[in-house]
């Protein structure tokens, strides 16, 4: 149970369930029970209620009434304060209901029922708070990931400093087993880091000088010296926490519907209870009997199960997604993602890695692949050609020796040439080679096959004879094909790729990942226009991109899904759903989780309303008593909440 307060009173169906859901920072449940006045008073109230029933059999009636009254005062103290608080705000709450029903029971001289009412309602509130805190604590755990202090190296001396006081550019030491305090770049040391809290990746990542590390991740087995690249309030983890804190402002249609419904439902049920209490007696019915039935209607019509059927499932789904490295920025996106039938993908950086790499090498004459790479890399190191980095990286990956190039000359629009030893080498495109009239039929055939696969070609010649072809392409992510196949199995009807590349490249990538539809030669604004057109066809469309140059299309989509946000702060800001790791398999997980959440919410709302309808009908017919109705109502509410918490698994 939580303290009376004047905020967070706008739960679903217009019922401010003060004891059912407090703010995320409420740590009352985390304290030992004997240090919480409300739970102590509840325990005392329960004990006094039990003693009151014993006294009703073995002691004078006045003594039993006194014990029951003490039980009501102890157990009802905090609910009464909360009820008064809600009345001042002109709000009908569960606590208002409890006070009214308890007062009515006392008027009927039902002291035992009044005491039981207080105990059961209060106990239900405590149990429901425990249940709700399970979901909330999964989000609150994010806040506790980053350590409060850091080992900062200042003037060669290691100093323990609060993370909020560490400045950009300072150096921190992270020892084995420590959590990394701030985002940064590794300057020295080798280690593996568990990044699951940020990216959802189960396998620890190897870190070496030059690699990025993130606040809240755990250094496993080596010491790292890290240069801080973000202040405490601007780390990737801080941005995640901020986005999570904002999620309540973005409500789903379920939540908006429940609020509109609550504006009618709650006053109507209170009106029904009053009508049952007053109208039949005015027509000659027994006053006591109908007043009692009205009390039962009051008790069974307002339930924490109704109030929490939506928010518990939403919070649980968002928390579960966050543990998997998927950040969902609100209940509205939980719902919308589960409805999506069309998903649009940017190609570069999303379906592919976005970094050109050497994928094929064709050799002619006596040259080997390594020799081709060796001489091409030697020339390319001086050229600055857009594809040079791919050739150089491939040579370095094979640990090939670096050759000295003399007489280097860049040939704009064609390539470059240089002398290695006694031989002259040309490295460039087809125009450079045809200018020397040295393309053979064999080379032309091989080049055509590679270009048909969307690969860019670098020709290598030695002394005016063609000795090799290097094919360079943007490589497809290993998880892309499997992730898209999973989406198809989930029933996503259309998967569409958008790219600024030419049709040949687009076709090659689409066939590799299993996409049937694609649009090529698109600028960012054109991508956004395609997304808008798809949405106008009905059913909405999600857009998956890297969150940087895809911002217009992400903003235009029903749900913008940014990926690789651990390496891009812009992606955290841009996407409605953020895949923290460069892992498309998490997209299928997010879609499946959203669909589960939709099913759970629909089931919870239907079940809660069914329970209320049955209990109110029985109360009107006089077929259920106050205490049994109360127990059934609270049990149903608790089971509904537990059903919502299944989303945490």
Ramachandran quadrant class, 354 (left: phi over 0; alpha: psi -120 to 50; beta: rest)? left
CB distance 270 to 96 below 8 Å: no
Secondary structure of 491-519 in the HEC alphabet? CCCEEEEECCCCHHHHHHHHHHHCCCEEE
Q: What is the DSSP letter of 12?
A: G
Choice among 19, 133, 346, 474 that is catalytic: 346
The CA distance from 605 to 12, in Å, is: 10
The CA distance from 273 to 632, in Å, is: 19
Handedness of CA 372, 377, 378, 383 (dihedral sign): positive
Q: How far is CA 363 from the centre of its chain?
A: 49
Quote the radius of gyration of the chain (alpha carbons, Å). Answer: 34
Exposure b/e, 407-423, CB count within 10 A at least 16 = b: eeebbeebbbbbebeee
Query: What's the Cα-to-Cα distance from 274 to each of 17, 297, 350, rounded to whole Å?
Result: 21, 9, 61
CB distance 27 to 43 below 8 Å: no
The CA distance from 153 to 138, in Å, is: 33
The CA distance from 376 to 389, in Å, is: 11
Residues with Cβ < 8 Å from 200, sequence gap 6 or more?
323, 324, 325, 326, 580, 581, 583, 586
| Closest listed residue to residue 638, CA positions, set 22, 131, 135 | 131
Residues with Cβ < 8 Å from 448, sequence gap 6 or more?
none
Beta strands 465-476; 352-363: pairing state: antiparallel
Q: Does the annotation count 346 as an active-site position?
A: yes
Tell me the residue length of the chain: 649
The CA distance from 272 to 264, in Å, is: 12
CB distance 508 to 359 below 8 Å: no
- A 10 A CB-CB count for 535 gives 18
| Closest listed residue to residue 474, CA positions, set 387, 566, 583, 586 | 387
| Closest listed residue to residue 576, CA positions, set 525, 600, 542 | 542
Any bridge partners for residue 213, and if so which? 184
At residue 274, the 3 state secondary structure works out as helix
Query: How far is the first Cα of the chain from the last one, in angstroms, to the nearest whole number?
Result: 25
Alpha helices for 419-523 (secondary structure H) = 430-435, 441-452, 480-489, 503-513
Beta strands 559-563; 542-545: pairing state: parallel
Task: Calculate the CA dihedral of residues 51, 55, 56, 61 and round it to 10 degrees.
Answer: -130
| Catalytic machinery residues | 346
């Amino acid at each position: 149970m939580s303290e009376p307060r004047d905020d967070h009173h706008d739960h679903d169906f217009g019922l401010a369930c003060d004891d059912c859901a407090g703010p995320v920072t409420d740590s009352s449940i985390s304290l030992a029970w004997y240090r919480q006045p409300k739970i102590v008073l509840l325990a005392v109230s329960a004990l006094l209620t039990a003693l009151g029933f014993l006294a009703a059999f073995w002691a004078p009636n006045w003594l039993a009434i006194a014990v029951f009254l003490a039980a009501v005062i102890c157990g009802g103290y905090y609910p009464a304060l909360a009820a008064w608080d809600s009345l001042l705000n002109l709000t009908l709450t569960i606590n208002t209901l409890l006070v009214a029903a308890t007062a009515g029971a006392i008027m009927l001289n039902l002291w035992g029922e009044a005491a039981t009412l207080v105990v059961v309602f209060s106990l239900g509130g405590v149990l429901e708070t425990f249940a709700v805190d399970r979901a909330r604590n999964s989000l609150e755990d994010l806040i506790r990931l980053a350590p409060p202090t850091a080992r900062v190296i200042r003037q060669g001396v290691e100093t323990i400093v609060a993370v909020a006081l560490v400045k950009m550019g300072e150096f921190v030491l992270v020892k084995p087993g420590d959590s990394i305090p701030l985002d940064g770049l590794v300057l020295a040391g080798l280690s593996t880091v568990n990044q699951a809290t940020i990216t959802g990746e189960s396998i620890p990542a190897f870190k070496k000088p030059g690699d990025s590390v993130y606040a809240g991740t755990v250094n496993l087995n080596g010491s790292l010296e890290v240069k801080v690249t973000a202040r405490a309030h601007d780390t990737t983890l801080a941005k995640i926490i901020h986005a999570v804190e904002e999620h309540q402002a973005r409500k789903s249609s379920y939540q908006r519907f429940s609020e509109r419904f609550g504006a009618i439902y709650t006053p109507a049920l209170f009106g029904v209870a009053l009508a049952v209490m007053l109208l039949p007696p005015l027509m000659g019915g027994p006053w006591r009997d109908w007043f009692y039935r009205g009390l039962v209607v009051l008790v069974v019509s307002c339930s924490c199960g109704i109030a929490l059927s939506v928010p518990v499932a939403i919070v649980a789904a968002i928390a579960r997604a966050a543990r998997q490295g998927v950040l969902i920025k609100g209940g509205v996106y939980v719902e919308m993602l589960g409805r999506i039938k069309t998903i649009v993908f940017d190609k570069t950086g999303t379906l592919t890695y976005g970094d050109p790499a050497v994928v094929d090498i064709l050799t002619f004459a006596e040259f080997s692949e390594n020799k081709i790479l060796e001489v091409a890399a030697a020339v390319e190191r001086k050229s600055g050609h857009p594809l040079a980095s791919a050739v150089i990286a491939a040579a370095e990956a094979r640990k090939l020796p670096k050759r000295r190039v003399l007489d280097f000359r860049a040939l704009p629009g064609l390539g470059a040439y240089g002398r290695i030893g006694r031989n002259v080498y040309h490295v460039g495109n087809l125009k450079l080679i045809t200018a020397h009239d040295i393309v053979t039929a064999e080379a032309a055939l091989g080049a055509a096959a590679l270009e048909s696969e969307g690969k860019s070609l670098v020709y290598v010649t030695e002394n005016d004879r063609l000795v090799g072809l290097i094919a360079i392409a943007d490589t497809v992510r290993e998880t892309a094909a499997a992730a898209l196949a999973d989406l198809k199995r989930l029933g996503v009807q259309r998967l569409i790729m958008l790219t600024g590349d030419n049709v040949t490249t687009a076709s090659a990538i689409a066939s590799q990942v299993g996409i049937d539809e694609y649009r090529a030669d698109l600028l960012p604004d054109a991508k956004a226009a395609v997304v808008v057109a798809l949405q106008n066809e009905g059913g909405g469309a999600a857009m998956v991109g890297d969150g940087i140059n895809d911002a217009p299309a992400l903003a235009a989509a029903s749900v913008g899904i940014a990926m690789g946000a651990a390496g891009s702060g812009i992606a955290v800001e841009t996407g409605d759903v953020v895949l923290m790791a460069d892992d498309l398999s998490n997209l299928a997980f997010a879609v499946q989780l959203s669909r589960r959440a939709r099913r759970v919410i629909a089931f919870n709302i239907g079940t809660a309303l069914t329970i209320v309808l049955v209990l109110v009908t029985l109360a009107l017919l006089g077929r259920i008593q106050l205490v049994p109705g109360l127990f059934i109502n609270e049990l149903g509410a608790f089971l509904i909440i537990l059903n919502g918490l299944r989303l945490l698994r």
